């Protein structure tokens, strides 16, 4: 059966807002919305303005002055049209005053929650808006939500975000100098030695930096890096196999240097694997290893790369070149 995707007239941000909030909104509708956003920067500007107007409406709905005025109008007997003019003018004045009050009113008090994982731990949390976040080992982040936006600050580590749809509040992930803006997708952000890596699995995200108007828009299967100075690198293909493996507890390596592989595996275990000779770090290794299973890793390296393991206590394994 063919599914028809709902389409508003071009440029109608209001129509998209109504559609996304409708109970019968489909994944195809959301995909069409993302395509509409990508068609023109003017569409993005119109959508952001629509979000601002919706936030204003939410504030006005809860304003006691407006509700009291509405109740008073409903109680007033019917009058000739010209008799309504003073009341209508008063109502307009109330709306104008409320709008000015909203513009200068402080933002609604934000709520913040901090989440963290230790060595070898992965943790899945569901945020207040329904967003599901998977924290990789050694990760720390803070989620701060208010009535206007949802912001996650990734302080260290790596996380995957499956973002809950909220047409009225953008979802932002900040990591170092980079800002990732999402419209209901699945993406990953990692911090490493001052740089930030962003990879997109589903949907669409915009990657920008503070103080720079440049924006990198990612499509599914694309990745981009932002250096410590806030420079956005060129878009590149995402290693989808690796991106989908680590949330399942597996690490995929393709022709990786041994020292880099060990650095990654050591993040997941208190038992550290080291090299007796730094020159061994140049060996290249490919394979899929379960995160934290150092014994299995060492067994593979002993069999396939002519290495010998020396165990120094419970928390250290040193790899030597095997003597012939």
Q: Which CATH number do you get for residue 214?
A: 2.60.120.1440
CA distance 131 to 198: 18
- Using CA atoms, how far residue 126 sits from 131, 199, 202, in Å, is 6, 20, 19
Residue 168 shares a structural domain with residue 281: no
pLDDT recorded at residue 26: 77
CA distance 68 to 94: 11
DSSP 8-state secondary structure symbol assigned to residue 184? S
pLDDT recorded at residue 102: 38
**Residue 4 is assigned to a structural domain of this protein:** no
- Alpha-carbon dihedral of residues 85, 89, 95, 100, nearest 10 degrees? 170
Which of 99-113, 203-217, 308-322 has the highest mean predicted lDDT (pLDDT)? 308-322
Rounded to 10 deg, the angle between the 27-39 and 41-61 helix axes is 120
Residue 42 shares a structural domain with residue 128: no
Q: Which of 104, 130, 161 is the last residue of a domain?
A: 104
Q: Which of 240, 266, 297 is the last residue of a domain?
A: 240
Selected residue with higher pLDDT from 309 and 25: 309
147 pLDDT above the threshold of 90: no
**Residue 7 is assigned to a structural domain of this protein:** no
pLDDT recorded at residue 165: 85
Percent residues over pLDDT 70 in the chain: 73
- The overall longest dimension of the chain from CA atoms, in Å, is 106
Q: Residues 164-186, buried b or exposed e (16+ Cβ, 10 A)? A: bbbbbbbbbbbbbbbbbbbbbbb
pLDDT recorded at residue 120: 92
**Residue 5 is assigned to a structural domain of this protein:** no
Contacts of 224 (CB under 8 A, 6+ apart): 197, 198, 207, 216, 218, 232, 233, 234, 235, 236
Residue 68 shares a structural domain with residue 165: no
Range 300-317 average pLDDT = 93
CA distance 273 to 313: 12
Range 86-99 average pLDDT = 38
Which of 17-21, 74-78, 214-218 has the highest mean predicted lDDT (pLDDT)? 214-218
CA distance 306 to 322: 6
Residue 279 pLDDT class (50, 70, 90 cuts): very high
pLDDT digits (tens, 9 = 90+) for 168-217: 889 999 999 899 998 678 999 999 888 999 999 999 999 998 777 788 99
Residue 95 shares a structural domain with residue 162: no
**Residue 2 is assigned to a structural domain of this protein:** no
pLDDT digits (tens, 9 = 90+) for 256-275: 999 999 999 999 999 999 99
Range 103-121 average pLDDT = 78
**Residue 8 is assigned to a structural domain of this protein:** no
For residue 312, what are the domain limits?
249-321
Residue 127 shares a structural domain with residue 231: yes
**Residue 232 is assigned to a structural domain of this protein:** yes
- Using CA atoms, how far residue 64 sits from 59, 74, 76, in Å, is 10, 15, 19
- Token pair of 236, please? 């590149």
- For 194: left if phi > 0, alpha if psi spans -120 to 50, otherwise beta; the answer is left
Domain total of the chain: 3
Residue 254 shares a structural domain with residue 236: no
pLDDT recorded at residue 54: 61
Residue 121 shares a structural domain with residue 95: no
Range 150-174 average pLDDT = 93
DSSP 8-state secondary structure symbol assigned to residue 116? E
**Residue 3 is assigned to a structural domain of this protein:** no
pLDDT digits (tens, 9 = 90+) for 7-16: 444 456 777 7
pLDDT recorded at residue 108: 62
Residue 60 shares a structural domain with residue 100: yes
Q: Which CATH number do you get for residue 287?
A: 3.55.50.30
Selected residue with higher pLDDT from 123 and 43: 123
Residue 236 shares a structural domain with residue 257: no
Q: Which of 51, 85, 104 is the last residue of a domain?
A: 104
| Average predicted confidence (pLDDT) for the chain | 80
Task: Give the helix/strand (H/E) hosting 153.
Answer: strand 150-156
The CA radius of gyration of the chain, in Å to the nearest whole number, is 27
| pTM, entire model | 0.67
- Token pair of 31, please? 């995909």
85 pLDDT above the threshold of 50: no
pLDDT recorded at residue 34: 73
Instruction: Please say whether the beta carbons of 284 and 133 come within 8 A.
Output: no
Residue 127 shares a structural domain with residue 236: yes
pLDDT recorded at residue 69: 44
Range 75-86 average pLDDT = 42
Least confident of 20-24, 117-121, 221-225, 311-315: 20-24
**Residue 6 is assigned to a structural domain of this protein:** no
Selected residue with higher pLDDT from 57 and 200: 200
Residue 228 shares a structural domain with residue 253: no
39 pLDDT above the threshold of 70: yes
Residue 266 shares a structural domain with residue 292: yes
């Amino acid at each position: 059966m063919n599914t028809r995707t709902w389409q508003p007239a071009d440029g109608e941000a209001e129509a998209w807002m109504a559609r996304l909030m409708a109970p019968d909104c489909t994944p195809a509708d959301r995909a069409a919305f993302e395509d509409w956003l990508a068609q023109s920067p003017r569409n993005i500007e119109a959508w952001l303005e629509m979000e601002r107007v919706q936030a204003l409406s939410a504030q006005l709905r809860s304003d006691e002055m407006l509700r009291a005025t509405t109740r008073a109008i409903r109680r007033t007997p019917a009058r000739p049209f010209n008799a309504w003019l003073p009341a209508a003018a008063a109502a307009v004045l109330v709306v104008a005053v409320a709008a000015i009050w909203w513009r200068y009113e402080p933002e609604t008090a934000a709520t913040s929650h901090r989440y963290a994982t230790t060595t070898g731990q992965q943790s899945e949390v569901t945020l207040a808006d329904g967003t599901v976040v998977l924290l990789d080992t050694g990760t720390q982040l803070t989620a701060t939500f208010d009535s206007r936006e949802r912001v996650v600050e990734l302080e260290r580590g790596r996380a995957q975000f499956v973002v809950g749809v909220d047409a009225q509040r953008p979802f932002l992930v900040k990591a170092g100098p980079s800002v990732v803006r999402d419209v209901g997708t699945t993406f990953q952000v990692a911090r490493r030695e001052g740089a930030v890596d962003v990879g997109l699995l589903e949907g669409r995200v915009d990657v920008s930096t503070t103080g720079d108007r440049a924006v990198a828009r990612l499509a599914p299967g694309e990745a981009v890096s932002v250096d410590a100075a806030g420079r956005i690198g060129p878009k590149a293909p995402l290693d989808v196999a690796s991106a989908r493996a680590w949330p399942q507890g597996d690490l995929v390596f393709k022709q990786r240097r041994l020292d880099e592989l060990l650095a990654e595996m050591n993040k997941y275990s208190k038992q550290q694997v080291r090299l007796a000779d730094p020159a061994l770090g140049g060996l290249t290794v490919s394979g899929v290893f379960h995160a934290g299973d150092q014994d299995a890793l060492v067994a593979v390296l002993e069999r396939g790369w002519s290495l010998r393991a020396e165990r120094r206590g419970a928390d250290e394994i040193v790899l030597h070149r095997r003597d012939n």
